[in-house]
Amino acid sequence: MHETIALRLASLDQRYTPLRRTLVEALSASARPVTMPEILAAAPEVPQSSAYRNVTTLIGAGVVRRVAGADDHGRFELSEQISGQHHHHLVCGSCGKVEDVHPSPGLERAIGDATRSIGEQQGFEVTEHRIELLGLCPECRTI
């Protein structure tokens, strides 16, 4: 993973610095997309201003992707090309929490077939898909 990231950054004349590696490791250790405050809590040695700037660089290199929640907070995760894990998201419409969901291989094939069919109907070639399922997380359902 780290070699791939270094090559992606090098192709943009950027270096894979120790600070960027720390951010990648914090994202890699998370089981779901995380907010910047959560990243900073996991990597307290990283200055806040540097974290934002470097995450933006990692997004530009295709290493990290921003995941929209139902609130104003951006959440971040390693891109599927880096993590090697295709997945979708459950998004709480109340608190904005985002969690990963991994559909079964059969369901994923059906989703892939459906998205390609929809694209073909419009003359569009679908190369990937992302699905966000909106609802209420267990904590918000009890309120």
For 41-94, how does the pLDDT look when each residue is reduced to its tens digit (9 = 90+)? 999 999 999 999 999 999 999 999 998 777 777 899 999 889 888 888 999 988
pTM: 0.79
- In the chain the domains, ranked by start, together with CATH numbers, are 2-141 (1.10.10.10)
- Whole-number pLDDT of residue 120: 94
Locate all alpha helices (DSSP H) within 11-137, ordered by sequence: 18-29, 36-42, 48-60, 80-83, 105-121
Rounded CA gap, 127 and 125, in Å?
6
Cα 10-59-47 angle, rounded to 5 deg: 90
Q: Which two tokens stand for residue 14?
A: 């950027």
